[in-house]
Amino acid sequence: MITITTTEGLAAFCERARAEPYVTVDTEFLRERTYYSKLCLVQVALPGEGDDTAVLIDPLVNEMDLQPLYNLMADESVIKVFHAARQDVEIFFIDGGVIPTPLFDTQVAAMVAGFGEQVGYETLVRKIAKANLDKSSRFTDWSRRPLTDAQKTYALADVTHLRVIYEFLAADLEKTGRRAWLDEEIATLTDPRTYTTRPEDAWRRVKTRTNSGRFMALVQALAAFREGYAQTNNVPRSRVFKDDALIELASTKPRNEKDLGRSRLLLREARKGDIAAGILEAINSALALPSDALPKPDKSRDKLQVNPALADLLRVLLKAKAEQAGVAQKLIATSADLDGLAAGLRDSAALSGWRKDVFGSDALDLCDGKIGLRADKGRVVTVSL
């Protein structure tokens, strides 16, 4: 097993990799105690079978400069292959300012190829590579050194089997003409906005039970402070305060540290110092907003009248079309998409691109009464009306 621990060694390997049609990549990281992932190990494999085709890159030793690796990730002549790429791509974007391009995600490709919903790497190894994974090192603390041979073997398996999986799935998508389907999905993974969280938008992830403008302003201000503090200090947002504490603060509107001390849900560390000051400032700023500056609730879906029978028919149609196409249902349309269609909305992603060809056109015809469904030899098929 080859472990690269110097910038010179990394540069030499990456130069070699840039002559290949693809590389398989995985990362090991920690995030439990930080806002941003701490990169602990990178695994890269080249096409082929030799012992020197798969390496571990250890960024925690010798103050290694990872720029050669970032250059490889940006080289558009080499396909970068990941499984469930989102967190890996986020690391490269945050740490190196680069998004691996072009990108091939085997989890998404497997969904397009009919392997089910969010199929795991271990399943693909077993079904495609005809091998088994030793998962004994799954819960390793990858920041600790030295790594054992078992840990290194485990880490390398995440990229060596990936070569066989990639070549199988890439060939399958070319054969079925579905490579463009994958490219539509990959567009989200390669969009920098996917990995950028602006503090002022953080409130949209907080679930609330009221649409009061003032309450929403308080949630917005508190969430923005929490996100900014977490980013600046590189701590998990839950270490600042959790969502339930945020909702409590927006409800009780404490005005001083004494009031904060009465909170049932606020962490002790957040009742004083910089966090307490930030909380009080956020609350005061939200309370001072004039009425015309308060956030406006999105009521576009509030009065939707979902036809439950039609929604059920759409679910049957989706299942039938997914089975017919050999593609995961979840990749075509979500439950919310179906309810929206049954309520008359026409802004669903299921009505564009390859999804429209597979499901969306028939879904619209079903909603408009142009087609119906019937059973035919154990299958559900559409019939013109």
3-state secondary structure 81-132: EECCCHHHHHHHHHHHCCCCCCEEEHHHHHHHCCCCCCCCHHHHHHHCCCCC
Residue 65: active-site member: no
pLDDT at 154: 94
pLDDT at 303: 61
Question: How do beta strands 79-82 and 103-105 pair?
Answer: parallel
pLDDT at 301: 55
Q: Which residue has the tokens 């059973």?
A: 375
User: Which residue among the candidates 22, 26, 58, 337 is catalytic per the annotation?
Assistant: 26
pLDDT at 299: 63
Residue 117 has pLDDT above 90, yes or no: no
pLDDT at 225: 98
Residue 129 has pLDDT above 80, yes or no: yes
What is the rounded average pLDDT of the residues 24-51?
95
Rounded CA separation 318/323 (Å):
8
| Domains 199-293 and 308-384 in one fold | yes
Rounded CA separation 282/264 (Å):
19
From its phi and psi, is residue 266 left (phi > 0), alpha (psi between -120 and 50) or beta? beta
Q: Which tokens sit at 36?
A: 């941003």
Least confident of 130-139, 277-286, 348-357: 130-139
pLDDT at 62: 81
User: Which residue among the candidates 22, 35, 75, 88 is catalytic per the annotation?
Assistant: 88
Instruction: Give the model confidence (pLDDT) of 191-239 as tens digits.
Output: 999 999 999 999 999 999 888 999 999 999 999 999 999 999 999 999 9
pLDDT above 70 covers a percentage of the chain that reads 98
User: Which residue among the candidates 121, 154, 166, 229 is catalytic per the annotation?
Assistant: 154
CA distances (Å), 149 to each of 78, 141, 163, in order? 30, 14, 22
Q: Which CATH architecture describes the domain 308-384?
A: Orthogonal Bundle (1.10)
CATH number, span 199-293: 1.10.150.80
Contact 342, 311 (CB under 8 A): yes
What is the rounded average pLDDT of the residues 259-276?
95
Provide the 10 A C-beta neighbour count for residue 121.
19
Rounded CA separation 6/259 (Å):
54
Residue 339: active-site member: no
CA 35-36-39 angle, to 5 degrees, is: 140
Question: How do beta strands 54-57 and 2-4 pair?
Answer: parallel
Rounded CA separation 324/79 (Å):
30
pLDDT at 300: 58
User: Which residue among the candidates 58, 90, 158, 362 is catalytic per the annotation?
Assistant: 158
Residue 42 has pLDDT above 60, yes or no: yes
pLDDT above 90 covers a percentage of the chain that reads 90
What is the chain's mean pLDDT, rounded?
94
- CATH class entry, domain 2-195: alpha beta
Instruction: Assign 296 a pLDDT band (cuts: 50, 70, 90).
Output: confident
Residues counted in the chain: 385
Contact 157, 28 (CB under 8 A): no
pLDDT at 206: 94
Comparing 51 with 318, the larger pLDDT belongs to 318
Residue 166: active-site member: no
What is the rounded average pLDDT of the residues 142-151?
94
Question: Domain extents for the chain?
Answer: 2-195, 199-293, 308-384
